[in-house]
Amino acid sequence: MSRLKNRKARGILDQITRPMVVFELIIMLLCALAVFCYNMKVSLDQRFDTTTQIAEEAVNTLTEYKSIDFLVDYWHENYEQMEFIYDDPEALNAKEMQFSELYPRIPDTELVTSEQAREMDAETQRLFAEICYSHLSTSFDRIKRSFDTMFLYGFIIEGDDMFFIITGTLEDESRISSGGDLFELGYAYPYSRGRYPTLDQLLDTGVPSDHIELSLRADREAVHVFAPVTVNGSPVMYIGVSTQWKDIMDYTLLLSLFLAAIIAVLLATLLVIFFRIINRIAVRPLVKETSIVKEYEANKDSKKATAELGEIRSDNEIEELADAFSSMLSDLESYMEEIRVATADKERLGAELDMAASIQSSQLPSTFPAFPGRNEFSIFASMTPAKTVGGDFYDFFLIDDDHIALVMADVSGKGVPASLFMMISKLLIKNSLQNGKSPAEALTDTNKQLTENNEAKQFVTVWLAVIEISTGKGIAANAGHEHPVLRRAGKDYELVEYKHSVPVATLKKAKFSEHEFELHPGDSLFVYTDGVPEATNAGDELFGNDRMLVALNKNPAAGPRLILKTVKDSVDEFVGEAEQFDDLTMLCFRYNGPESGAKDE
Amino acid sequence: METKLNKEGTKLTIEIAGRLDTLTAPEFEKEVEPALDGITDLTIDLKDLEYISSAGLRALLGLAQTMEDKGQMKVTNPNDAVMDVFSVTGFDDILNIV
């Protein structure tokens, strides 16, 4: 029982769990993906804005120098003669002192115009360019540091090259000249179109891109923004800013995973709650129902089962099922009671029928030899009843010392009514004959008695004969019965066909005829009921009179007992396994003659 | 065995074809009995009946007895073999054969 319980409980939850878990995983992945995409987009837009701001900051820093166009040209053409001062305030200070001595007109280098710069002598120009470069370099370093930028640089386009002018450098980075990898003034980097679409656009149209398109290639996990430095509307150089977005991706990925985890936990919790509810409202009541039913199966205590089923309160279909089951059990109980009664009735009836059958067969003379000491004839008869009580009967008795009566009859129908009718018929016939009536008179008497109150509309076919033992002369009557079979001594058995009277109990005023016949020593009479010719095999074939005659003539000289056995064996062989509907009743009488000393075999 | 029932008001014609014997007689009785309600004129047409045994005779007699109280019954068109059976068993005296 417990095995069944577990299996069932696991079944339902299992069936729900699998799709739910798959569903949960899909939801989780979709949420994570949505969060990832959204966050990437927002963050990248922010990063683009920031990067654009950095570029603007750099552009502003450069354009504060009124002579920026001059400076760019100068740096470009004279970088090889220039002395670069990076991060050396004292050296810078010395140069500034030197410059202010040489060019005292304008103390602030930013305010020097291009025209003024061009008018300087070569030495002053170089000093001026070096000081400005140093200042701007420091500014770029500062901008790069404060915005955590990946690259910040200024360049001009010279043919197919990006000619680097200025590059922001952090403390832990080195310029190419110091063995590092940051390009610096004078470095020409071959540029191929397509590498930076935003730069291509800027160069083509003069307008910076206002959005970015992501490229996930490993060397470009960065946002690249380019901005022009313009003087009087024409670009003198370009600023390039690259900020990495790998950190955004890492962050976003982490955020998405975190969110996915939260969703997973939430859904799992939901699932557990769901399972508990299912368990409470469905699985447990079902398990209980199963165990109640199992218990009922074992002890058939429907009251207990009904009471327990009534306790199931799940307020859903399972409760309905329990109720339905409960009423079914009550119905079952009453049906079973009915069946018990019916079965008892049937058994009693069966027993009574058996008794009827045994009473019926005990009515038939069944002791053989029937008349020990009477050697003038030998007689043998048998009835093999079919399943139910039938209406066949035979009879033979001595009316007086010199007369023997033979009766073979078949009552219509089967069962107890037929058997009762048979007993009455048998008694009436015997009575009449013993009162000295002839066969036809006996049948008329019997018919009169039977038709007086024959509600069941039964009738009986009768062949009967009275034989004078001393002479072999007989009188026979046939009321609708099968043809008798006669064998003259030394010959074969043959059917004796003649017109019969109507069966007994069919018509109130029926007339019965009789006829005389004579038996000679060695002659035999065989009479039977329709159970013999109408014995049926599995192929629905009837045994028939012809087969019966063949059986009789297998050994025609045999005595009555053997004759009956031969016929019976033939019928059995013919019928095989098929079920028999009718009784098999036969009687054989052999006349040996008055002088015969032959014994009944 | 096949039976064909043809009912017209209180008149019923039953056609029996094939064999009427121990095997088929109970079936025949079962088919015919319910149709007899309210019938006063019953005709049994035997033109297609090939064989009749004592069980078949009983079935016919049963019908004749039932109809005794209700009206009339006649039997028509028995073939020679069937007629022989009727006369040998004395049923030609019981049944109204026309």
Q: How far apart are CA A369 and CA A15, in angstroms?
A: 82
Phi and psi at A228, nearest 5°, equal: -85, 145
Total count of residues recorded for chain B? 98
Tell me the shortest Cα–Cα distance from A549 to chain B, in angstroms: 18
Query: Which tokens sit at A391?
Result: 């209406």
The whole-number pLDDT of residue A398 equals: 94
Mean pLDDT of chain A: 85
Q: Quote the tokens at residue A564.
A: 């009956």
A9, pLDDT greater than 70:
no
Buried b (16+ CB within 10 A) or exposed e, A511-525: ebebeebebebbbbb
Among B1, B53, B54, B66, most A C-beta atoms within 10 A, so best to mutate, is B54
Closest-CA residue of A relative to B67 is: A457
Q: Hey, what are A28's tokens? A: 């989780």
Query: Comparing C-alpha atoms, which of A395, A439, A419 is closest to residue A585?
Result: A395
**What whole-number distance in Å separates Cα of residue A70 and Cα of residue A62?**
12
Question: B2-94 sits in which CATH class?
Answer: alpha beta
Strand, coil or helix: A568: helix
Q: Which two tokens stand for residue A375?
A: 């050697």
Q: Is the pLDDT of residue A537 over 50?
A: yes
* pLDDT tens digits along A407-439: 999 887 777 778 888 889 999 999 999 999 999
What's the DSSP call for residue A208? -
Question: Is it the case that residue A472 has pLDDT exceeding 80?
Answer: yes
**Do the chains contact at B54 and A480, CB–CB below 8 Å?**
yes
A534: Cα separation from own chain's centroid: 53
Q: Which residue has the higher pLDDT, A271 or A562?
A: A562
Structure tokens at A339: 């069946």
Q: Which residues contact residue A25 at a Cβ distance below 8 angstroms, ignoring those fewer than 6 apart?
A: none
Tell me the chain B residues in contact with residue A581 when contact means C-beta distances shorter than 8 Å: 22-23
Q: Which of A502, A537, A582 to mutate to test the interface with B (most CBs of B within 10 A)?
A: A502
What is the distance in angstroms between the Cα of B55 and the nearest Cα belonging to chain A?
A: 8
How far is the CA of A57 from the CAs of A46, A143, A208, A517, B75, in angstroms?
A: 16, 8, 15, 152, 129
For B51, name the nearest residue in chain A, comparing CA atoms only.
A542
Q: Running DSSP on this structure, what letter comes out for residue A504?
A: B
Give CA–CA dist A165/A156, Å, rounded. 7
* Reported confidence tier of residue A91, pLDDT bands at 50, 70, 90: confident
When pLDDT is averaged across residues A70-77 and rounded to a whole number, the result is 90
Question: Which of A506, A530, A582 lies at the smallest CB-CB distance from B61?
Answer: A506
The C-alpha atoms of residue A10 and residue A272 are separated, in whole angstroms, by 14
Residue B67's alpha-carbon distances to A16, A78, B7, B54, B72, in angstroms, are 72, 145, 15, 20, 6
**For residues A570-578, average pLDDT:** 89
Inter-chain CB proximity A534 and B87 less than 8 Å: no
Which residues in A lie closer than 8 A to residue B59 (C-beta atoms)?
A: none
Q: Alpha-carbon Rg of chain A, whole angstroms? A: 65
* A424 within 8 A of A439, measured Cβ to Cβ: no
User: Which residues on chain A are in Cβ contact (under 8 Å) with B89?
Assistant: 461, 480, 500, 502-503
3-state secondary structure A323-360: HHHHHHHHHHHHHHHHHHHHHHHHHHHHHHHHHHHHHH
Q: Quickly list DSSP for A118-183.
A: HHS-HHHHHHHHHHHHHHHHHHHHHHHHHHT-SEEEEEEEETTEEEEEEE---TT--BGGGTSSB-
* Burial grade of B38 (CB within 10 A; 0-12, 13-18, 19 or more): exposed
pTM of the model: 0.53
Q: With contacts defined as CB-CB under 8 Å, which chain A residues touch B65?
A: 457, 506
**Does pLDDT of A598 surpass 50?**
no
pLDDT > 80? residue A568: yes
Max CA-CA distance within chain A?
189
A–B interface: beta-carbon pairs under 8 A:
62
Q: B31: exposed, middle or buried (C-beta count within 10 Å: 0-12, 13-18, 19+)?
A: middle
Domains and CATH numbers, chain A: 51-249 (3.30.450), 367-591 (3.60.40.10)
Chain A residues lying within 8 Å of B22, measured CB to CB: 530, 534, 536, 581-582
Q: Name the range with the highest mean pLDDT among A338-347, A361-370, A580-589, B24-33.
A: A338-347
Residue A152 contacts residue A165 (beta carbons within 8 Å):
no
Q: What is the DSSP letter of A520?
A: -
CB contact under 8 A, A530 and B62: no
3-state SS class at A241: strand
What is the predicted pLDDT for the residue at A50?
87
Q: Over range A181-201, report the average pLDDT.
A: 83
Kindly list the distances between the CA atom of residue A476 and the CA atoms of A72, A343, A473, A497, B60, in Å, as whole numbers in the listed order. Answer: 158, 47, 10, 13, 26
pLDDT at B9: 86
d(CA B87, CA A499): 6
Highest mean pLDDT among A377-381, A480-484, A507-511, B23-27: A377-381
Q: What is the DSSP letter of A110?
A: G
A526: β partners: A485, A588
The overall average pLDDT reported for chain B is 86
Helix, strand, coil percentages (3-state) for chain A, rounded to 5, are 50, 20, 30
Per domain, the residue ranges of chain B are 2-94
Output the six-digit token pair for A190: 């071959």
User: Model confidence over A252-293: pLDDT tens digits?
Assistant: 888 888 888 888 898 889 888 988 888 888 888 888 888 888
Q: What is the mean pLDDT of residues A94-123?
A: 86
